A and B are shown apart, each in its own frame.
Chain A
Amino acid sequence: MGAITLQKVSKSFGDVTVIPGVDLEINDGEFVVFVGPSGCGKSTLLRLIAGLEDVTSGAIRINGTDATGMPPAKRGLAMVFQSYALYPHMSVYKNIAFPLKMAGQDQAAIKQKVESAASVLNLTDYLDRRPGQLSGGQRQRVAIGRAIVREPDAFLFDEPLSNLDASLRVNMRLEISELHQSLATTMIYVTHDQVEAMTMADKIVVLRAGNIEQVGSPLELYRNPANAFVAGFIGSPKMNLIEGPEAEKQSCTTLGVRPEHIAVSTDGGAWKGVVGVAEHLGSDTFLHVRVEGVGLMTVRAEGEFDLHHGQTIFLTPVPDKIYRFDKNGNAIR
């Protein structure tokens, strides 16, 4: 069981209000990702759920019981920190065993649980090592091992992959997703990387300045962003947000077109532009096109579309994939 409910949760540090008031429902077994730019309060929200910070007002309910004033250890949650926070003077075995030892379990049960966790995480050969002798990815796995032996109601991840290199990050992303499939436990995951959010989440919570901008599945957010901020944050490369006369033609303040929803042609189209930079990735080509009266646009073209700096091309947005936003940035449906 790992259902978590936040009711009007707010947090201030002195005079600075970080989270003005958040309502959120997290169902048992869900993989929820908090995503937002740095300083949006997503880590603070996670720490409030963990109990490492006291809420200023509002209530946190875990499995239906009020956990607002509960100490962190009593909440049945396990956390993986950005720095991993391994205990440097203890072996890997002792690190993973620490929460069980604190819970007063007997040696035989601890040994059995630590060894099974280590075999799941490919750490069996490293149980005698100290954290200082491990690579970044192995440390990450030790931190996860320390969390899973507790069999918590929910896992909390605070930007766990941000200290890893790019290829390892992709691997660990898969491993965490697989772990979620096999354990079927609630996971709350904080990241500023929208790719991690899109690939891992059942439910994405987009935060800005401590407020929830939108909650939904990755594809819901991709298809129906509630406002220009979410539209710009979800999707890679970013959505083109166009203001000015072109937007007014569509009777809106901001016009949004995703790079992948633009047809490119060398013969003719709605907008005429000049290619600035062409990024050839092989599978795709991203064109940065300067369009008269519109500005700089990013366009995704086919991989083998051979275009270069200075060439003139024509762009046509796909008509039913255009997003329109009013002057407050909210979507016009």
Chain B
Amino acid sequence: MATMHTQNTARLMMSPAVLMLLVWMVVPLGMTLYFSFLRYNLLMPGMEHFTGFGNYEFFLSDPAFFEALANTLLLVGGVLLVTVVGGTFLAILINQPFWGQGIVRLLVIAPFFVMPTVSALVWKNMLMHPVNGLFAWIAHGFGLDPVDWLAVLPLFSITMIVAWGWLPFATLIILTALQSLDQEQQEAAEMDGAGIVSIFTYITLPHLSRALTVVVLIETIFLLSIFAEIYVTTSGGPGTASTNISFLIYAEALLKYDVGSAAAGGVVAIILANIVAIFLIRMIGKNLEA
């Protein structure tokens, strides 16, 4: 494979894929950067002109931006907390031998296959609805006033909806990691006098560290850009109580028709995502080293 000829052939064969990826990534990125320096509103076509950092100033000084930033981080953090803790717990639970294990595992994994818009609608109309919802019916059963979840606790409700969808992913990855835990190590720890809690802390958790890192990294990448669940349930409201950065950009571009400001928001979002990524890799990346 090392001859000049095969190397050239390999380059030739790879080039369409590389070119395609390049075009697919570089062109939108370049256009976003270009638009972000233009005053460009779709309501005033043909009036676009260069404004320097004006769009950035406008976007970053918007009070909604800081709320959206906080909401984004809260949403990511909340979902991670629920899925990692809940996923570990569920994985340990369904790793025990019991009757009907196959069916239960299938059911646990099922939410991951429900698309975000559908699951958000189901939660909104069948579970959290203050009149028709299951939670309202339960509250009535206890003689309590039903909670209008999406109006009173919008961010919390969305966190729950998203966490429900991602819980199976965490469970599945942690379950496979659990299954590769050496039985004799647990028995040795048992003989050494470790109880259930000590075995979990000293044997199971260190063994799971790599899987947990993968879960956190992958989920963070996807959770930074949550959109469908917000769009379908609260549309970012009430006010901007459940608006995250990606929803804010959508609002700028397609509700206010301000392409320049939205593009500046997109660039800010890219920078933020990179800050989060660097932070995460610094914190937990060492777990991935063999």
Instruction: Tell me the A residues contacting B by CB distance below 8 Å.
Output: 50-52, 71-73, 77-79, 81-83, 85-90, 98-99, 102-103, 146, 150
> In the complex the two chains form, what is the Cα distance from A98 to B185 in whole Å?
12
Given A81-B184, A86-B185, A90-B202, 9 additional A-B pairs, CB 8 A? A52-B190, A52-B191, A72-B187, A73-B191, A73-B192, A86-B188, A89-B206, A102-B193, A102-B194
Contact B189 A98 (CB under 8 A): yes
Residues on B with beta carbons closer than 8 Å to the beta carbon of A87: 185, 188-189, 202-203, 206
> In the complex the two chains form, what is the Cα distance from A130 to B5 in whole Å?
45
| B:203-220 near A, CB below 8 Å | 203, 206-207, 209
Contact B192 A146 (CB under 8 A): yes
Give the distance to chain B from A266, nearest Cβ to Cβ, in Å.
Answer: 55
Residues on B with beta carbons closer than 8 Å to the beta carbon of A83: 182, 184
> In the complex the two chains form, what is the Cα distance from A85 to B206 in whole Å?
15
Interface size on B, residues (CB 8 A): 17
Q: A87-B202, A87-B203, A89-B206 are in contact. Are A98 and B192 (CB under 8 A)?
A: yes
Interface centre among B184, B190, B192, by most chain A C-beta atoms within 10 angstroms, is B192
Contact A85 B202 (CB under 8 A): no
Residues on B with beta carbons closer than 8 Å to the beta carbon of A71: 190
> In the complex the two chains form, what is the Cα distance from A78 to B203 in whole Å?
18
**Total contacts A-B at CB 8 Å:** 59
> In the complex the two chains form, what is the Cα distance from A81 to B206 in whole Å?
21
Chain A contact surface mostly = loop
Contact A81 B192 (CB under 8 A): no
Contact A99 B207 (CB under 8 A): no
Q: Does B198 contact A (CB under 8 A)?
A: yes
Instruction: Tell me the B residues contacting A by CB distance below 8 Å.
Output: 182, 184-185, 187-194, 198, 202-203, 206-207, 209
Residues on B with beta carbons closer than 8 Å to the beta carbon of A90: 202, 206
Contact A77 B191 (CB under 8 A): yes
> In the complex the two chains form, what is the Cα distance from A82 to B206 in whole Å?
22
> In the complex the two chains form, what is the Cα distance from A86 to B185 in whole Å?
7
Contact A73 B198 (CB under 8 A): no
> In the complex the two chains form, what is the Cα distance from A146 to B184 in whole Å?
14
Give the distance to chain B from A333, nearest Cβ to Cβ, in Å.
Answer: 43
Contact A72 B203 (CB under 8 A): no
> In the complex the two chains form, what is the Cα distance from A81 to B185 in whole Å?
9
Interface centre among A71, A87, A89, A103, by most chain B C-beta atoms within 10 angstroms, is A87
Contact B193 A81 (CB under 8 A): no
Q: A89-B206, A89-B207, A102-B198 are in contact. Are A72 and B190 (CB under 8 A)?
A: yes
Residues on A with beta carbons closer than 8 Å to the beta carbon of B202: 87, 90, 98
> In the complex the two chains form, what is the Cα distance from A165 to B184 in whole Å?
22
Residues on A with beta carbons closer than 8 Å to the beta carbon of B190: 52, 71-73
Give the distance to chain A from B290, nearest Cβ to Cβ, in Å.
Answer: 9
Interface centre among B188, B198, B209, by most chain A C-beta atoms within 10 angstroms, is B188
Chain B residue with Cβ nearest A78:
B191
Give the distance to chain A from B130, nearest Cβ to Cβ, in Å.
Answer: 49
Contact A85 B207 (CB under 8 A): no
